[in-house]
Each structure stands twice: as structure tokens, then as C-alpha cells.
Chain A
Amino acid sequence: MNWITNYVRPRINSLFTRREVPENLWTKCDECGTMLFHRELRENLNVCTSCDHHMQISPRLRFEALFDNGAYAEIDVPAPVQDPLHFRDQKPYPQRLRTAQKATGEKEAMLVAEGEIGRTPVVAAAQDFSFMAGSMGMYVGNAIIAAAERAVASRRPLILFSAAGGARMQEGILSLMQMPRTTVAIEMLREARLPYIVVLTHPTTGGVTASYAMLGDIQIAEPGALICFAGPRVIEQTIREKLPEGFQRAEYLLEHGMLDRVTDRRRMRDELIVILRILQHMPPAVKGELPPPAEGPEAAPQPDAAAKKVAAQESGA
């Protein structure tokens, strides 16, 4: 890996990306109403400093905070056939795509990258709710397949941050087919015995929840995240009764045995490092800020080799 392309360039790029310049310097927390200054909010990973409400965070901001020194390399996602159904509702689908691209400065609803977290090599994928509600179409499917293939080829675990309103209706049946397609990708990881960690963020619903977002070896959610197959409104219409407080929220799912953990975004990175290093028989990570690597990141340690080393140490060799 090259220092300039992997560390400096993303930093420079981020300075010029439209989305990094906030329209308003102040954001109002939709939970408690506190006005939050954008620098402070960003420093706090878009978590309200007053009530801990977790707001949306873009994949780029998340990756910058996740990877050591904010350094990561984007992984190319093969471009799918555009608008395969020639879908048109009130607007043609290509027009909706262009609008989303302009608004977000992103190509599509998922970003895939590789880098290190706590010196642990990983591949990470993050879904972008601000891009057509993060909806799962062929691009998102291709992104997950590309992430899994890269993880298998480089023997790295995959961390996936989900956020989606569901399937991309404008791709019709082909969006539905991303459920089996992404499941094939998860099978590749399973067979390679590589950890697949899912971090469910607000909201994760529909076909996304019913495929790759529920198949993690470890399932973690951010506090307050809505996680469901059918949304609360659809259910209320069907059963004609009020749903209980907190229904389908992360804490509710945890209580019902559907999640391993609910973790604050600000502690997520440390927790992911601990989990990944235990699952891969690696020694505990050095906590805290790490200096930029002097000669580029370390080569990915082979989990098997690491396991052997641990075993050797235990036996006193």
C-alpha cells in the first residue's frame, strides 16, 4: 500500500468534496432540540452532545473516524447496467440517480474501503442513507460482493455498516435478487472463516435486514436504530393496534435476542478492534491514538500464523 494514495489523497479529496462543507453551521438535534455547532457535532461523530441521539453519518465521515489516522483506500465497485428496466414513475430512474449523485457527491449508496483499525487490517463497507435512502440495488449488491471478494483475497475480516429503507424499487426484481446475491457474498466469507461483523445503523429495514444485514457472525447496533423487516406503519395498518414504546428499536431487538450488542458510536471503533482481534487470535491492540505508520501499514497478519504464535506462547515456547 502506498502512503500518498492511501492516506494523503483521501484527506485532500475530503477537503474538496461538496458534502463536507455544511450548508448550515448549526444543526438542531431532532431528539432534544439542542442547537449543535457543526465542528463540535462532527467531532462527536454526529452524536448529540446533549442527549446522545445518534444522527446519520456519511460513509466517508465514518471511515475517517474508523480507520487508523483516517487513512483508507477505496475499493472499486464494478458498475452495473444502468436502469435495466427502463423504470419510470413520476420521474425517470436515471434522473433520480443524478439528483442523488449531485446532492451527496457520491456515485451510489455504498462505499467500500480497506485499511487498518487499531493496526488490524479490515475491509469495511458502509451504506449511505442520504443516497436514495440507502436503497439496495445492483450497485449495493456489487459493492458487497466486491467487499467480500477483497476480504477473501486479502484474508481480512469484513465490517458492514447497514442503513437502508430497503430495496431499490426502481430496479424491480433485480433489486430483490440482491438478497440472494449478497448472501452468496456472505457465504464466501463464511467458507474462508473470516469474521463478518454487521453494525446496524438507523434505519435498517426491508430486504436489507432480511439478507446480509442479519447474517453477521456478530450483530451490533447503534443506540435507537430502527431495525425491522416490515416498518411500524405497515404493521399498525395490518394489525390495527398501537405498537409498544421502542418497538423495533435496537434496544428492543437486543431484549428479544436478535442482537449481540447495542454500542454507542463513539465506542464502536474500540469494540470492533477488540472483537476482531479476539476472533482472529491476535494480541490485544494498543489503545489510543496511533502515530501515522512510518513505512506504510503492516502486512496483514495471517490469522492461522497468529493463532500458532499464541499457542506457542501459551505452551511456554
Chain B
Amino acid sequence: MAARKEFLPMTHYLDFEKPLAEIEGKAEELRALARQNEGMDVEKEARGLDKKAHDILRDLYKNLDPWRKAQVARHPGRPHCRDYIAELFTEWTPLAGDRAFAEDDAVMGGLARLDGRPVVVIGHEKGHDTATRIARNFGMARPEGYRKAVRLMSLASRFRLPVVTLVDTPGAYPGKGAEERGQSEAIARATQKCLQIGVPLVSVVIGEGGSGGAVAFATADRVAMLEHSIYSVISPEGCASILWKDAERTRDAAQALRLTAQDLLKLKVIDRIIDEPLGGAHRDPRAAMRAVGSAVGDALAELEAEKPGALVRKRREKFLRMGETALPA
């Protein structure tokens, strides 16, 4: 629990975590009282509450339904691209701009090393407070973000550097300028570039894999998802309002869309699930990030010996095969 405090001075509880908030609140109250009144011993009671909180947490997260997973995937305290870069990579050297119009702060990209291995890193960054969320446009990239990614993938390919992408976006930005500057074309070109580069391409969905904006980075040799992340053609909200004509039916939409890592693994759309700490990545960000780092390291080691031509051929074959596996009835 100490680790959580270190990252999250103010815990943000999700709606379904209310019973947990109550117990953890009580334990905290008790300890605060003891700090104010010297000689007062509450540790036994507080530990009892801790144990109870732990049990509640375990039960809540044992079988998270898809809508709850969507909420966890969007948890504000969840580690974001920026945190992963700081935790896992050394010699991080951000590279900016699409060389045509602008730099897009919703997409981080640059050179770095993972366990000493030189790589190119590209990822969506949502921001962590109001100012940075606005600056990062809540992780919704504009065409420039995708074009920067294309540029960096080309760079990686030319200098034989593997590419690691971290996917965490509600989707591409639905804005006037973004459309005028060719949002669709930019996404299509990024997906195409993913299918062209003769270097290993490893992708992890760390939070939200929102539609085309996610595909543009995740058309990879290996795609992993964190246990409680989601990856979907449309948000549960969007799907509910279109198919149910009722924006409140998000739980049904999330269920029907099969957007969880567990279902996507069964459909063979992803290759691996990375376990999260109990209660989600936001409860112990460092442990979650290290798990991601080691999964990416494994994938890169597996792909290291592949020749460029074989990488491209196998990547394409993998996507052509998708859809052959259905979910059990």
C-alpha cells in the first residue's frame, strides 16, 4: 500500500469501488487519530480494516465486467506513456514534428534504450492533470501525430531499430482542423507503415485502445494488452447511443463489443495478456510498468533474429488470418 501513496497522493475511487473507499477511509481515519493522540494504539483495528479492504479489492477485481474494465482502463491514476518512458527506458530522446504542419503533443515519440537495447518508442499520452490533459488533447492525436509516427517508423526501419508502441487513446481527435488536414489519410498511412517496416514492432495496449487511432500504432508483430485495458472498434458510449439509441446502455454495449483483453486473446487478435497488480495498474504503477517492460523485452528477444522480409511477411499473414477464430457460443 505504501507504493500507492508514493504515486497517488489522492486516490481516485471508481463508482464500483465505493465499498472499498469506505473501509480504506476508516483505516486512514483511525491512523490519523492515533497520530494526533500519542499513546493511542489502533494498529490492530486498522490492520483488521486493511485485511477487509484487501478482501473487498480481491473480490471486486476477480471478475470485472467489461464496463468496469473500461473504467479501470481510463482510471486517471493509471500509468500513462510518459510514466512508462520514465520508468522503463534510458537515454530518452524525444523527437518532434511531422515536418509538414506541426508537433502533436498527444503522441510521444523518440529514441531510447530498453535494457540497453536501442529502440524507437511511440505512444499516446493522455496527460495527468488538467493542464497536461489539455496540452496532450486527452491522448487524442491529430493527423500530425500519426504523421510523426510514420516518420519515426521510417527512421527506425532505416537504422534497424525495433519499434515499441504504447497504445492509450480514446480515439483520433474529431476536430475541424484534424479533418481538413486529412485525419483518415494520416491513420491509413500509419497502419500501412506498420505493415511495411522490416524491423520488430511490438505494441502494448496500456489503457484504452480506441478504434482507428489505436490500430495506427498496434498493427504489430506482437500485441499485448494489460489485464484491465480495452481495445475496441467504438467506445461503449458511442456504441450504446448508436445501436441502443440510449447513451446509458454502456454496460450492455461494453459486454456486446467483447473489448476485454481476455476476449481478444481468445479471438487471437492479441498475443498476450500482461497481469496487473491487484486492484489495477493504478494501485501499484511501478509493478505494472515493470511487467510491461519485461513483456516487451521478451517479445523483442523473440523477434531479434528474424530477417526484415520474414518479419513483414509474418506480420501481414497474422492480420490476414484474423477472424478465423470465433468466440465459443
Q: Give complex CA distance A187, B194 in Å.
A: 11
Contact B185 A258 (CB under 8 A): yes
Q: Give complex CA distance A86, B172 in Å.
A: 28
State whether the Cβ of B132 lies closer than 8 Å to any Cβ in chain A.
Answer: no
Closest approach, in angstroms, between the C-beta of B323 and any C-beta of chain A?
A: 5
Quick one: given A167-B233, A210-B212, are A180 and B195 in contact (CB under 8 Å)? yes
Quick one: given A141-B323, A173-B258, are A180 and B233 in contact (CB under 8 Å)? no
Within 8 A of B (CB), among A172-211: 172-177, 179-181, 183-184, 186-187, 206-207, 209-211
**In the complex, what residues of B have CB within 8 A of residue A90's CB?**
243-244
Q: Give complex CA distance A278, B235 in Å.
A: 44
A-side interface residues, number (CB < 8 Å): 54
Q: Which of B69-77, B87-95, B174-182 contacts A (4 or more CB under 8 A)?
A: B174-182
Q: Which of A6-14, A22-30, A229-237 contacts B (4 or more CB under 8 A)?
A: A229-237
**In the complex, what residues of B have CB within 8 A of residue A183's CB?**
188, 191-192, 195, 219
B 187-215 binary contact with A (CB < 8 Å = 1; else 0): 11101101110000000000000011001
State whether the Cβ of A33 lies closer than 8 Å to any Cβ in chain B.
Answer: no
Contact A184 B174 (CB under 8 A): no
Quick one: given A176-B211, A235-B174, are A85 and B264 in contact (CB under 8 Å)? no
State whether the Cβ of B329 lies closer than 8 Å to any Cβ in chain A.
Answer: yes
Out of B187, B231, B327, name the residue touching A229 (CB < 8 Å). Answer: B187
Contact B327 A86 (CB under 8 A): yes
Contact A243 B219 (CB under 8 A): no
Q: Give complex CA distance A186, B323 in Å.
A: 19
Closest approach, in angstroms, between the C-beta of B191 and any C-beta of chain A?
A: 5
B contact residues, range:
35 or more
The chain B residue with its CB closest to the CB of A177 is: B322
Contact B184 A209 (CB under 8 A): yes
The chain B residue with its CB closest to the CB of A174 is: B323
Out of B192, B232, B243, name the residue touching A186 (CB < 8 Å). Answer: B192
B 250-281 binary contact with A (CB < 8 Å = 1; else 0): 00110011110000100101000000000000
Out of A169, A176, A206, A230, name the residue touching B179 (CB < 8 Å). Answer: A230
Quick one: given A84-B267, A248-B179, A258-B182, are A214 and B188 in contact (CB under 8 Å)? yes
Quick one: given A173-B259, A173-B269, A214-B184, are A207 and B175 in contact (CB under 8 Å)? no
Contact A184 B233 (CB under 8 A): no
Contact B267 A235 (CB under 8 A): no
State whether the Cβ of A37 lies closer than 8 Å to any Cβ in chain B.
Answer: no
**In the complex, what residues of B have CB within 8 A of residue A117's CB?**
none
State whether the Cβ of B319 lies closer than 8 Å to any Cβ in chain A.
Answer: yes
State whether the Cβ of B326 lies closer than 8 Å to any Cβ in chain A.
Answer: yes
The chain A residue with its CB closest to the CB of B211 is: A176
Contact B264 A173 (CB under 8 A): yes
Contact B233 A88 (CB under 8 A): no
The chain B residue with its CB closest to the CB of A87 is: B256
Within 8 A of B (CB), among A114-173: 138, 141, 145, 167, 169-173
Contact A215 B233 (CB under 8 A): no
Q: Give complex CA distance A81, B232 in Å.
A: 19
**In the complex, what residues of B have CB within 8 A of residue A187's CB?**
192, 195-196, 316
Q: Give complex CA distance A90, B178 in Å.
A: 34
**In the complex, what residues of B have CB within 8 A of residue A170's CB?**
243
The chain A residue with its CB closest to the CB of B270 is: A173
Closest approach, in angstroms, between the C-beta of A91 and any C-beta of chain B?
A: 9
The chain A residue with its CB closest to the CB of B174 is: A230
Contact A181 B188 (CB under 8 A): no
Interface centre among A141, A183, A214 (most CB of B within 10 A): A183
Contact B322 A174 (CB under 8 A): yes
Out of B178, B215, B242, B243, name the residue touching A176 (CB < 8 Å). Answer: B215
Closest approach, in angstroms, between the C-beta of B117 and any C-beta of chain A?
A: 26
Q: Give complex CA distance A172, B230 in Å.
A: 12
State whether the Cβ of A256 lies closer than 8 Å to any Cβ in chain B.
Answer: yes
**In the complex, what residues of A have CB within 8 A of residue B242's CB?**
169
Within 8 A of A (CB), among B274-329: 316, 319-320, 322-327, 329
Q: Give complex CA distance A241, B174 in Å.
A: 13
State whether the Cβ of A314 lies closer than 8 Å to any Cβ in chain B.
Answer: no
Closest approach, in angstroms, between the C-beta of A1 and any C-beta of chain B?
A: 28
Q: Give complex CA distance A1, B303 in Å.
A: 46
State whether the Cβ of A89 lies closer than 8 Å to any Cβ in chain B.
Answer: yes
The chain B residue with its CB closest to the CB of A84 is: B326
Q: Give complex CA distance A141, B219 in Å.
A: 16
**In the complex, what residues of B have CB within 8 A of residue A227's CB?**
184
B 99-118 binary contact with A (CB < 8 Å = 1; else 0): 00000000000000000000
Contact B192 A230 (CB under 8 A): no
State whether the Cβ of B161 lies closer than 8 Å to any Cβ in chain A.
Answer: no
Contact B184 A256 (CB under 8 A): no
State whether the Cβ of B183 lies closer than 8 Å to any Cβ in chain A.
Answer: yes
State whether the Cβ of A312 lies closer than 8 Å to any Cβ in chain B.
Answer: no
Out of B179, B182, B212, B259, name the residue touching A207 (CB < 8 Å). Answer: B212
Contact B176 A243 (CB under 8 A): yes
Out of B195, B215, B267, name the residue touching A174 (CB < 8 Å). Answer: B267
Residue contacts A-B, CB under 8 angstroms, 18 given: A80-B323, A83-B326, A85-B326, A89-B256, A145-B320, A172-B233, A173-B232, A173-B233, A179-B188, A181-B320, A214-B182, A215-B188, A228-B179, A229-B172, A229-B179, A235-B179, A247-B179, A256-B181
For the complex of A and B, 10 pairs with smallest distance between CB atoms: A230-B174, A84-B326, A209-B184, A89-B243, A176-B233, A210-B187, A229-B184, A180-B219, A229-B183, A210-B212
> Residues on A close to B: CB < 8 A?
80-81, 83-90, 138, 141, 145, 167, 169-177, 179-181, 183-184, 186-187, 206-207, 209-215, 227-230, 234-235, 238-239, 241, 243, 247-248, 256-258
